[in-house]
Amino acid sequence: MTSTPREPTVLSATTVADAIDAPEAASPGAPWTPVPLLRASGLVKRFGAVEALAGATIEVHTHEVVAIVGDNAAGKSTFAKIVAGVLQPDGGLLELAGEPVSIPSPSAARDLGIATVFQDLAVAGNLDVTANLFLGREQRIAGTPLLHEGEMELAARKLLHQLGARIPSVRTRVADLSKGQQQSVAIARTLLGQPRLVVLDEPTASLSVAATAEVLTHIERLRDLGLGVVLISHNLNDVRAIADWIVVLRHGRNNGTFRGSSATNEELIAAITGATRADGHLEAYRG
Ligand SMILES: Nc1ncnc2c1ncn2[C@@H]1O[C@H](COP(=O)(O)OP(=O)(O)OP(=O)(O)O)[C@@H](O)[C@H]1O
């Protein structure tokens, strides 16, 4: 597998704010292409005797939310970690926009335009919302070590607005936000890297009903921006509400693909528990 990094992106707070305002960025009308944004085929990952992934195949297009569901130990988080460059697969092929890629590290994933939000969120509670959004990407006034606070605040407000996030102030300490608001900050931060693909690992776990609804709105916005979204979740109601496609993993293998708009909890549970068997991959269902 060869690595195909994107052109490096030079970011500034204003270009970020402008980019998220740009009509084409927000337009849901960009053409759908037959080439998936990400295609992971036949993925294998072993941990000693445990085969966490045993040939799983998952693809996601731009403007699309693909949910991955499955019982505990089905291999969902292992898939997320491989796409995030945290783990290396023992077999299988990763393709981005039709090109084979390797993702040897989290920074390689970022260079390829892949952003992942894990359950721990990795937000800094002692810093405010703006500082969290720009952590590691701080904007400085040209020729000085001084931070461009005004520009960063402006971009932070626009980003959160774009996502539909309700945060009291971009100067609030993240530790003082609710769990749902912290999730909003973590998702907003991914946008600053101008990703093509966002992977969310259990973003609604342990959230209230209201906070869950807000996070689902963020996911819709990401899709409207033209991104591909992979949503890993145990919550079947959430995935049925938001996902274009639902891929069931069982023991590291595909066990059914369903349209989010028509899947029922009963058929999803049957696939998750192994009461029904289906190894067809998503491409076979699109037709
Ligand atoms: N670092 C690791 N070392 C050893 N085994 C691991 C490691 N990571 C995952 N596994 C094992 O791989 C299998 C798949 O785990 P994974 O976390 O991908 O499942 P999951 O579908 O995300 O489950 P859950 O919903 O419980 O998070 C499990 O049997 C797990 O114990």
Q: Does residue 4 lie in a domain region?
A: no
Q: Does residue 159 lie in a domain region?
A: yes
Q: Does residue 215 lie in a domain region?
A: yes
Ligand 1, atom 5, residue with closest C-alpha: 47
Ligand 1 midpoint to CA 89 (Å): 14
Tens digits of residue pLDDT in 168-193: 899 999 999 988 899 999 999 988 88
By the 10 Å C-beta count (0-12 exposed, 13-18 middle, 19+ buried), 137 is classed as middle
Asked if residue 103 lies in contact with residue 224, where contact means CB atoms within 8 angstroms, the answer is no
Ligand 1 midpoint to CA 197 (Å): 23
Q: Does residue 6 lie in a domain region?
A: no
> Is any ligand 1 atom within 6 A of the Cβ of residue 77?
yes
Q: Does residue 250 lie in a domain region?
A: yes
Stated length of the chain: 287
Q: Does residue 1 lie in a domain region?
A: no
> Is any ligand 1 atom within 6 A of the Cβ of residue 73?
yes
CA distance 203 to 271: 22
CA distance 56 to 36: 16
ipTM for the complex? 0.96
Tens digits of residue pLDDT in 207-262: 889 889 989 999 999 999 899 999 999 999 999 999 999 999 999 999 999 999 99
Our count of domains for the chain comes to 1
> Is any ligand 1 atom within 6 A of the Cβ of residue 70?
yes
Q: Which ligand 1 atom minimizes the distance to the CA of 73?
A: 19
> Is any ligand 1 atom within 6 A of the Cβ of residue 210?
no
- pLDDT score of 61: 95
pLDDT values of the chain reduced to their tens digit, one per residue, 287 residues: 444 444 333 334 444 445 444 434 433 445 556 799 999 999 999 999 999 999 999 999 999 999 999 999 999 999 999 999 999 999 999 999 999 999 999 999 999 999 999 877 778 888 999 999 988 777 777 777 777 778 889 989 988 988 888 898 999 999 999 888 999 999 999 888 889 999 999 998 888 898 899 899 999 999 998 999 999 999 999 999 999 999 999 999 999 999 999 999 999 999 999 988 876 666 666 65
Q: Does residue 8 lie in a domain region?
A: no
Ligand 1 midpoint to CA 213 (Å): 27
∠ Cα 80 83 89 (to 5°) = 95
User: Checking DSSP bridges between strand 99-100 and strand 245-250, what pairing results, if any?
Assistant: unpaired
Identify the CA nearest to 163 among candidates 134, 137, 132, 187. 187
Amino acid identity for residue 149 in this structure: E
Ligand 1 midpoint to CA 105 (Å): 19
Collapse the DSSP code of 76 into the 3-class scheme (helix H, G, I; strand E, B; otherwise coil) and give the result: helix
Helices (H), 118-170: 129-133, 149-163
- The owner of tokens 């921006």 is 225
Ligand 1, atom 28, residue with closest C-alpha: 73
Report the CATH number at residue 112: 3.40.50.300
Tokens of 128: 């405010």
Ligand 1 midpoint to CA 75 (Å): 6
Identify the CA nearest to 60 among candidates 254, 279, 287, 247. 247
Q: Does residue 154 lie in a domain region?
A: yes
* Residue 67 CA neighbour count, 13 Å, CB half: 28
Instruction: Provide the residue range defining the domain that includes 117.
Output: 13-286
Q: Which ligand 1 atom minimizes the distance to the CA of 79?
A: 18
E-assigned strand segments in the chain: 38-47, 50-60, 64-69, 91-96, 99-100, 114-117, 197-201, 228-232, 245-250, 253-259
